[in-house]
Structure 1
Amino acid sequence: MACQLPADCLNEIFEYLEIDKFTLHSCLLVNRLWCEISVRILWRNPFDFKFDRKRSFKIYSSILSTLIACLPDESKNFLYNNGIFILTPTSKPLLFNYASFFKALSIYRINTMIVNVLKNRPYSISVDKNSLVANEIIKMFANQISSLKKLTYYHSYFYYKRHFNISFPHFPGARDLSELCCGSDLPSDFFYQLSQICHNLQSISIDFRSSVTDELKGLISSQNNLKDLNLSAFDDGSWTDIIPAITKHSHTITKLKFHSDDDISSFSFISSFSNLQELLFSFLGGVLEDFIKLQYVNFLKLQVLKIPYECPKPEYVMKFLENNGKNLKKFYTGENNKDLSLSIAKFCPNLKSLFVIFNDDEIDVLKTILINCQYLESIKIWCGTDYLSEKEVLETVAKYSPNNFCELKIHHITNSDVSPDDLESFFICWERRTLKKLSFTIIVEYQLYCGYNNLETLEVIKKYENLGTIKYVTKSEEEESEEEEEKF
C-alpha cells in the first residue's frame, strides 16, 4: 500500500507552491485530499494576477461565474428577478464553497471584474445592475468568510460614483484582519464597524484625499500591535490630523512609507519611532524640509532607507547617514550628488543593496563604494548619456565588487555602449572570480526600448546564460518600480 502523507504535512508542502500556480493546478487532479488542500490555497486570493486584457477577461469570467454559483438561492433569485443572468460553470452543485476560501478581498478588483465581464453581455447591464451584482457578492463574502486576512477598499470616483453604489455589510470574519488598504474618504460607519471588531491589524495603508474622520482615528488607535504603516496624500489630502493616533504606535511600528505629490505633509513626528527598521519617502515635489530635524535622529534599528524621487538636500542625507548608516542594509535614492555617493562608502559599510545615480565622470566613486562596502550583493546603476558608461561599469564591477556580489542591474538611458567582445570579457572574468551566478538585469525605459540592439551581443548573453554564469532578466522601468515596491 502506498504511503500517504497526512493532511497537515501536505498543506505545509503546498504552501511553498503558492507562487507556482501551474503545479498547484496539477495537484487538483491527484486525489480528493490533494484537491481539497490545493483548492483552498488557489482560492485564497484568486485576484492576485497581473492585468492583461485578453487573459484577464478569461480569468475574470471564470471567477465571476463560480462566485455566482456560490451565491445562496435568495441572491440568485434576486438577480434573476432584476434581469441579471450570469451562467454558472455547471448546473450541478459545486464540489466546494469557493467563496469561503477567500482570505484576501479587493473591492476594486471585484468591481473591475463585474464591469469587464458584464459589459460584453449581449444584453445591456445598467450601472444599477452592476451595483446589485457587487453587493450580493460582497454580502456573500461577509456571511461565508470566517477569517479574512487582507481587505483592500478604495473609494474611486469612476467605480463608485458612475458604476457602483457599494454597501459594505457587517463582516464578522474581519475580526482576524491583519492588513487593511483603504481610502480616508470611505463612509465613517465602515471605519466604526472595523474598530469594534478588528484590533490586530499588522499593516495599514491609507490614501488621504479628504478630511480624516474620528472613526478612522479610532480604528488606528484601537490596534494592539501595528507594525507597517503606509500613508499617501494627494490632491491636497493630508495625514496631519491623524498623527496623534499614529504616534500611539511609535514603539511597535517597524515599517513606514510616505507618499505625496508635495511636501506639505509633516513627517518629523517619526523621530520617536524607536524600533523603526524600514523607511520610505516618495515625494513628487518640494524639498522635504522636515528632514532638517530627522538628520540628527538616531534610528538604532533602521536597515532600509528609500528616497526614490525628490531628495532632501544632500548635506541633510549625509548627516543622516553619518548617524544611521552603519546598520543600513539597503539604500535607494534618486539623487546624483558626488559627495552624497562618497558618504555612502564612508558611513554605510554593511550595505547589501544599493541604488544611487552616478554622473558620467564618477566611475572612481563607484569603485570606492565597491571597495568599502564589502557586504554589497546588489547594485542598480543608470548608464548612458550624462551617466556612467556601461563598459566602465562592467570593468569596475568585475574587478572591484566584493565576494558576495551577485546582482547587477543596468538601467539603460540610451542604447548600450558595450560591444559583444566587451560583454564576453566581463562574463569570462566573472566566471573566474566567483562561483556565484550573477543576476544580470537590464531595465529599459517605459515605452522606449533602450538597450542591446546588437544581435551578436544578445548571442553572447544567451551563451553565458546557458552556461549558468548569469541569469539574464529584462524589465521595463514600470516593472522594476513595482518589484522594488513589493520588496520594500
Structure 2
Amino acid sequence: MTCQLTADCLSEIFEYLEEDKFTLHSCLLVNRLWCTISVRVLWRNIWNFKHPCRRRSLRVASSIISTLFACLPNESKELLFENNIFILPPTSRPPLFNYAAFCKVISTHKINEMIFSILSDKTSFYNSFSADKSGLVTTEIIKLLTSQIYSLKKLDCYRFDCDYINFSFNSSPGIRDLLELGCLSTLPSNFFYQLSQVCHNLQSIAIIINNNYVSNGLKELISLQNNLKNIALSTFDNNLADIIPTLIKHSNSITKLRLYNSDEDNLPLSFIGIFSNLQEIILSFPNVLELFENFEFEDFTREFIDFKNLQYANFPKLQTLKIPFHCPKVKYVIKFLENNGKNLKKLYISRSNRDLSLSIANLCPNITSLYVIFKNNELDILKTIFINCQHLESIKILCGVKHLNKKKVLETVANYSPNKFCELKIYSSSYSCVSSKDLESFFINWKNRISKKLLKLIMITGDYFSCLNLENMKIVKKYENLGIIKFETKSYYEEEEEEKLHYSHF
C-alpha cells in the first residue's frame, strides 16, 4: 500500500527547497499535485536567477517572459501586436496556471532588462526602437502582475525611467501586504502617494538617493509606516540631510541600517547613534581604490570624519557590524568595540592592523562570524582569536604573499578553532596551491577532532582552478564522500558582486 504525502506536508518540504531550483524543477515532473505545489515556490521570486552563461540566462529570461506573455489579457496582447511586438508563448496550449498570481516579488528593472535582452537579441543591435518596445512590454507585464498578485511582499523600482510605467495600485489586491520596497528617491510623488494610501506596514525600505533629491511623497510614505525595521540608503552626493529627520521618527523601531556611498569623507554618520535599538550596521564605501587598499596598502585609511563622533555611541542590541571596504581610523573602531563588542555576533572589517585584530580577540568574545585581514606575520593573532572566541563558527581569511600562508592557516584551524567552528573561507590574493599532502593532512586532523562537525570549506580565487589541482580535487571528493567536509569554489568576482549587492540593498 502506497503512502501519499498530503499537500500541506509537501508544501512545508518544498519551502526548504526554495533555493534549490534544480530539485524543484524535478518535482514539477512527479505528478500534478507535486507540480502544483512546486510551481508556486518557483514563481515566488522568479526574477532571482543567475547563470554564468549568457546564452543560458537569455533562454531562462525568454521562458519567463513568454510564459507571462501567454497570461496577458487579450487587450494587452492586441496592444503589443499593434506595435509589432510578437513574443511566442512556450506552447500552443493555454497556460496550466495563472503564473502571475504566484509571484510575491516585482522588480521593474529586472523585468525590463530581461525583456530588452530578448528583443535586442532578435534585432542584434541596441537602438531606441527596441528600447521603446521593451518599455511597452514591461508596462503590460507589470499591469498583469499588480492585478493578479494576491500577496505582494517585495517591490523594487530602481529604473531611472520608471515614470513611463503607469502604476495603478488601486486595482492591486496584494499591495496591502507589501513588506519590502526598493526605490529611487526621484520617482514621481504620485507613485509614493498611491503607496501611502494602502501600505502602512512596510518593514524594509532601500533607497537610492539620486540628484540630491528626496520626493515629498517618499518622505510621507516613510512617516506613515507603523513598524519600519530596516533602512538601506545609497547616495552618490554625500547628502542625507533631507531624509534624516524623517528616519529619526522611527528611531525606536529601526533595527538594521545600511549606508552605501562611493566617498565617505563628508557623509554624516553621527546621526546613527540616535537609533539605539540597532542590531545591524553596515557602512559600505567602495571606490576604484578598494582592490589596492584591501590587498596592497592596508595601512592607507580614509578619514571617516564623522565616525569620530560615532565611536562613543552605545548600541546594546548590536549583533552585526560590517565595514566591507574602507575602514575608519583604527583607534575609532577599537573605541567602538569597547562600547559594543561584547554583544557582537558578526564582524566584517576589511582592514589589516595588529592592534585592531587583538582588540577583536579581547573585546568580542561572543563573535560567531568574522572577517578581518591578517598580515603574514600575524598567525599568532589568529590563534588568539580562536582561543578567546569560543563561539566562533565561521571565518574568512585572506591568504597570499603579504598575508597568511594557506598551509599554516589550515594547520591553525585544525588545531585551535573552537568546537562550534564549521565554516572556513580562504580568500586568495595571489596564485598559490595547497599541496596534496598538506590538504589531506588537514582533512585527517579535522576528522580526528573531538567535535565531529562537518566543515564547509570555500575557496575564493581569481579563477576557479588556481586553488586546487586534479590530485587535490580527488582528495576533496574522498572526504566529501566520507561526510567530513563540504567543498565549494567561488571566483573573486562572484564574491565581490554578491557582497556589493548584499551591502547596498536588503
The 8 Å contact of residues 187 and 215 in structure 2, kept in 1 or not, is answered as: no
After superposition, what is the alpha-carbon deviation per residue over 1:313-353, rounded to whole angstroms, capped at 9, x for unaligned?
Answer: 10111111111111111111011010010001110111111
Aligned to 1:364: 380
Aligned to 2:207: 206
The 8 Å contact of residues 189 and 215 in structure 1, kept in 2 or not, is answered as: yes
The 8 Å contact of residues 222 and 247 in structure 2, kept in 1 or not, is answered as: yes
Change (3 A) 1:412 1:450: farther
After TM superposition, give the deviation of residue 283 of structure 1 in Å. Answer: 1.5
1:24 maps to amino acid: L
| 3-state secondary structure, aligned to 2:114 | helix
2:351 maps to amino acid: E
1:131 maps to amino acid: G
The 8 Å contact of residues 209 and 237 in structure 1, kept in 2 or not, is answered as: no
After superposition, what is the alpha-carbon deviation per residue over 1:422-441, rounded to whole angstroms, capped at 9, x for unaligned?
Answer: 22222222221231122121
After superposition, what is the alpha-carbon deviation per residue over 1:342-368, rounded to whole angstroms, capped at 9, x for unaligned?
Answer: 001110111111111111111111111
Change (3 A) 1:328 1:126: closer
Q: Distance in 2 between matches of 1:120 and 1:424?
A: 48
| 3-state secondary structure, aligned to 2:205 | strand
After TM superposition, give the deviation of residue 399 of structure 1 in Å. Answer: 1.7
Change (3 A) 1:82 1:415: closer
The 8 Å contact of residues 253 and 277 in structure 2, kept in 1 or not, is answered as: yes
Change (3 A) 1:449 1:243: farther
Aligned to 1:294: 310
Aligned to 1:277: 279
Q: Distance in 2 between matches of 1:25 and 1:383?
A: 38
| 3-state secondary structure, aligned to 1:190 | helix
After TM superposition, give the deviation of residue 450 of structure 1 in Å. Answer: 4.5
The 8 Å contact of residues 240 and 265 in structure 1, kept in 2 or not, is answered as: no
Aligned to 1:119: 120
After TM superposition, give the deviation of residue 401 of structure 1 in Å. Answer: 1.2
2:210 maps to amino acid: R
Q: Distance in 2 between matches of 1:5 and 1:398?
A: 43
Aligned to 2:402: 386
Query: Given the two structures, how large is their TM-score scaled by the length of structure 2?
Result: 0.89
Change (3 A) 1:398 1:117: same
Aligned to 1:348: 364
After TM superposition, give the deviation of residue 486 of structure 1 in Å. Answer: 4.7
Q: Between 260-269 and 472-481, report the one with greater CA deviation.
A: 472-481
| 3-state secondary structure, aligned to 1:356 | strand
| 3-state secondary structure, aligned to 2:336 | helix
Aligned to 2:10: 10
Q: Distance in 2 between matches of 1:425 and 1:129?
A: 60
Tell me, yes or no, if structure 1 residue 64 matches structure 2 residue 75: no
Q: Distance in 2 between matches of 1:343 and 1:298?
A: 17
Q: Distance in 1 between matches of 2:413 and 2:60?
A: 44
Of residues 415, 428, 433 in structure 2, which corresponds to 1:412?
A: 428
Aligned positions of 1:67-466 closer than 5 A = 67-121=68-122, 126-156=130-160, 160=161, 165-170=164-169, 172=172, 173-210=174-211, 211-234=213-236, 236=237, 238-263=239-264, 264-284=266-286, 286-416=302-432, 418-433=434-449, 434-445=451-462, 450-452=466-468, 454-466=469-481
Aligned to 2:35: 35
After TM superposition, give the deviation of residue 245 of structure 1 in Å. Answer: 1.0
Q: Distance in 1 between matches of 2:26 and 2:479?
A: 33
| 3-state secondary structure, aligned to 1:324 | helix
Q: Distance in 2 between matches of 1:56 and 1:137?
A: 19
Of residues 491, 494, 506 in structure 2, which corresponds to 1:476?
A: 491
The 8 Å contact of residues 270 and 310 in structure 2, kept in 1 or not, is answered as: yes
Query: Given the two structures, how large is their TM-score scaled by the length of structure 1?
Result: 0.92
| 3-state secondary structure, aligned to 2:245 | helix
Change (3 A) 1:427 1:187: same
Change (3 A) 1:429 1:34: closer
1:33 maps to amino acid: L
Structure 2 residue runs of 5 or longer lacking an equivalent are 288-301
After superposition, what is the alpha-carbon deviation per residue over 1:144-195, rounded to whole angstroms, capped at 9, x for unaligned?
Answer: 2222111111134xxx39xx94333335332211011111121221112111
The 8 Å contact of residues 208 and 237 in structure 1, kept in 2 or not, is answered as: no
The 8 Å contact of residues 355 and 380 in structure 1, kept in 2 or not, is answered as: yes
| 3-state secondary structure, aligned to 1:225 | coil
After TM superposition, give the deviation of residue 448 of structure 1 in Å. Answer: 8.9
RMSD: 2.4
The 8 Å contact of residues 414 and 451 in structure 1, kept in 2 or not, is answered as: no
Q: Distance in 2 between matches of 1:408 and 1:155?
A: 38
The 8 Å contact of residues 204 and 228 in structure 1, kept in 2 or not, is answered as: yes
2:275 maps to amino acid: F
Q: Distance in 2 between matches of 1:390 and 1:62?
A: 44
The 8 Å contact of residues 464 and 491 in structure 2, kept in 1 or not, is answered as: no
Change (3 A) 1:17 1:392: closer
Q: Distance in 2 between matches of 1:198 and 1:276?
A: 24
The 8 Å contact of residues 391 and 417 in structure 1, kept in 2 or not, is answered as: no
Q: Distance in 2 between matches of 1:283 and 1:223?
A: 28
Change (3 A) 1:432 1:49: same
Q: Between 409-418 and 378-387, report the one with greater CA deviation.
A: 409-418
The 8 Å contact of residues 353 and 378 in structure 1, kept in 2 or not, is answered as: yes
Q: Distance in 2 between matches of 1:128 and 1:13?
A: 43
| 3-state secondary structure, aligned to 2:147 | helix
Structure 1 residue runs of 5 or longer lacking an equivalent are none
Once superposed, which parts of structure 1, at least 4 consecutive aligned residues long, lie more than 4 Å away? 1-6, 122-125, 447-450, 482-488
After TM superposition, give the deviation of residue 38 of structure 1 in Å. Answer: 2.2
Q: Distance in 2 between matches of 1:118 and 1:345?
A: 55
The 8 Å contact of residues 154 and 181 in structure 1, kept in 2 or not, is answered as: yes
Aligned length: 480
Change (3 A) 1:408 1:30: closer
Q: Between 24-33 and 432-441, report the one with greater CA deviation.
A: 24-33
Q: Between 208-217 and 463-472, report the one with greater CA deviation.
A: 463-472
1:73 maps to amino acid: N
Q: Distance in 2 between matches of 1:80 and 1:57?
A: 22
Tell me, yes or no, if structure 1 residue 19 matches structure 2 residue 35: no
Q: Distance in 2 between matches of 1:292 and 1:127?
A: 47
The 8 Å contact of residues 287 and 310 in structure 1, kept in 2 or not, is answered as: no
Q: Distance in 1 between matches of 2:487 and 2:91?
A: 44
The 8 Å contact of residues 101 and 149 in structure 2, kept in 1 or not, is answered as: yes
Change (3 A) 1:455 1:347: same
